[in-house]
Structure 1
Amino acid sequence: MTLLTDHLVVDGVRLAYRDRGQGEAVIFIHGTPSHSYEWRDVVPHIEAAGYRAVTYDLLGYGLSERPVHRDTSVAAQTELLECTLAELGVDSVNIVAHDIGGAIGLRFAVAHPERVRRLMLIDTVSYDSWPSSTWRKFIDEQLDGYMNLSQDAFDALLTRQLEMTVETEGAMAGDVLDAYLAPHRSMLGRTSFFEHQVRHYDSTYTEEISDKLSALTMPVRILWGENDRWQPLGYAQRLSNDIPGADLVVVPRAGHFVMEDAPERVTREVRDFLAVPLLR
């Protein structure tokens, strides 16, 4: 399924996106190694529930542009999020964000709390939680030699990583696995993966805002797969303790890509959270 439908030029770069529905604006921010495909079983239901849902591929990801010399770190992606919302005429927004998308959402909420109506964090990176041990080993030992990887070797590497993101047998296989691998099945795709994603796996971007989380006042829901092997549940509990009033929801028998293990549950949680009254 192709979720994104259009392209938008923002701050001189092209982003693939989808903007449908009427009502309160909700923006969905994906994680890594991923793209907006991960929201395919969630976003249409939120649109149908009466919301304006905006979904896009981060710069350097999926169908968006992959500029060679452009910064695609979490900090740069946060600035680009601000530009994207301005281009779309969205003043205040609900944010639903996964993995590094959660770091982008948190950084935006810290910098612009008046613009964030509600914030949902799904198995997000935080504090010193990332990169995961498997990605840290790769960065330390193999990152500078990635150009030597054949397409088959790359597919095998990324497949092993993606299979760790789910708990449901067969959830990351067949057409689903192919969809996650598809953006990287070329030399440009492989290069972009390492230069625009892996090289920016850096906890500096989350550690530097850790002491600012206590200032957040918008409703926050933290949704987490109980068996997340990349972002252990302890980080979700730490976030819920540090963000005033944050609501922690743990999804049983789910991993890091909780929307693959439990799409109906994720959809229900998003829809219910968007109905939470605003207190400010």
Structure 2
Amino acid sequence: MTLLTDNLVVDGVRLAYRDRGRGEPVVFIHGTPSHSHEWRDVVPSVEEAGFRTLTYDLLGYGLSERPVNRDTSVAAQTDLLGRLLDALGVDRVGIVAHDIGGAIAQRFALAHPGRVRRLMIIDSVSHDSWPSPTWRKIIEEHPDGFANMPQDAFDALLTRQLEMTVADETLMAGDVLRAYLAPHRSPLGRVSFFEHQVRHYDSRYTEEIADRLGHLTMPVRIVWGEEDRWQPLHHAKRLAGAIPHAELVVVPGTGHFLMEEAPERVVREIDDFFGSPSPVTARG
């Protein structure tokens, strides 16, 4: 299914997005190597549960513009999130963020605490947890990017990485795999993937805010796949320990792309967390 339905020019760049439903607004921020397709089995159910959902492709990702000479780092994406919310007339919002989107969410919540009602972080990068060892090796082996790599070789490389995102690798195959590969299946796609995504796999964006995570006062729920191979569970525990009153929820039998393996569980966590009157202290 095509989740995103519209386009909006924000700060001079085009973002593909979806704004549906009524009720409390919740924004969904995807990770990498990914795009909003990862939320396809989550967002419609959240809308049906009575929330207004705002879902978009980060700049340089998916169906959004892939600009030349435009900063698409975590820091720049954080600023752009604020501008997007302004353009949509949203003051306060709940955030559900995955992977690198979690870094954007952490930074946004620290910079604009009054704008974030509640924060849910799913298998996120944090502190010095990224890039993962396999991505670090790929970056070292391809310092100039993937422009000269044959498409078949690039597809094989990215497929191996995507298969690591799920505990059950049979789920990352067929149409599901093709959807994640699709934005990169061209010379422009390969260049864009490096320039807008891989080039910004840099833990300084989370390390430089690590000592301020304790300043977060809004309710925070951290949801994690127990078998995450890119961001193993000890990173979740470290992040939860750094944020006062943060709740850590561990989902057995799932990996880094939790919404691929357990979308119904993700929907339940969102409904419970954003619909609950007060934060829950802790549970396993």
Fold match, TM over 0.5? Answer: yes
Match status 1:25 vs 2:30? no
Q: Is the 8 A contact 1:143 1:194 kept in 2?
A: no
Deviation at 1:239, TM superposition (A): 1.1
- Whether 1:193 aligns to 2:193 is yes
5+ residue gaps, structure 1, are none
Report % sequence identity.
75
Q: Aligned partner of 2:52: which letter? A: R
Using the TM superposition, give the Cα deviation of residue 169 of structure 1 relative to its aligned residue in structure 2, in angstroms: 4.0
Aligned residue for 1:104, secondary structure, equals: helix
The residue that corresponds to 2:276 in the other structure is 276
Aligned 8 A contact 1:23 1:51 in 2? yes
Aligned equivalent of 1:36: 36
Taking structure 1 as reference, are residues 186 and 169 closer, same or farther at Cα in structure 2, changes over 3 Å only? closer
Shift of 1:146: 2.0
Look up the match of 2:175: 175
**Pairwise CA distance, 1:145:** 4.9
Secondary structure of 2:23's match?
A: coil
Distance 1:135 1:16 in 2: 27
In 2, distance between residues paired with 1:108 and 1:276? Answer: 22
**8 A contact 1:167–1:227 mirrored in 2:** yes
Supply the AA of the counterpart residue of 2:250. V
8 Å Cα contact 1:117-1:278 kept in structure 2: no
Match of 1:120 in 2: 120
Give, in whole Å, the separation in 2 of the partners of 1:41 and 1:15. Answer: 21
Equivalent residue number for residue 109 of structure 1 = 109
Asked if structure 1 preserves the Cα contact closer than 8 Å seen for 2:171 and 2:261, the reply is: yes
8 A contact 2:10–2:83 mirrored in 1: yes
> Structure 2: how far apart are the matches of 1:220 and 1:82?
19
Q: Does 1:94 align with 2:94?
A: yes
TM-score, normalised relative to structure 2: 0.97
Number of residue pairs aligned between Structure 1 and Structure 2: 279
TM-score after normalising by structure 1 = 0.98
The answer to whether 1:245 aligns with 2:245 is yes
1:270 Cα shift?
Answer: 1.1
Report if the CA contact (8 A) 1:15-1:64 is conserved: yes
2: CA distance, partners of 1:9 / 1:188: 21
Question: What is the distance in 2 between the residues matched to 1:168 and 1:268?
Answer: 21
CA distance in 1, matches of 2:150, 2:255: 29
Q: Supply the RMSD in Å over aligned alpha carbons.
A: 0.9
Asked if residue 159 in structure 1 is aligned to residue 178 in structure 2, the reply is: no
In structure 2, stretches of 5+ residues that fail to align are: 280-284
Tell me which moved more, 261-270 or 19-28. 261-270
Indicate yes or no: 2:149 matched with 1:149: yes
Runs of 4+ with >6 A deviation: none
State the match for 2:282 in structure 1: none
The aligned runs of 1:60-99 (5 Å cut-off) are 60-99=60-99
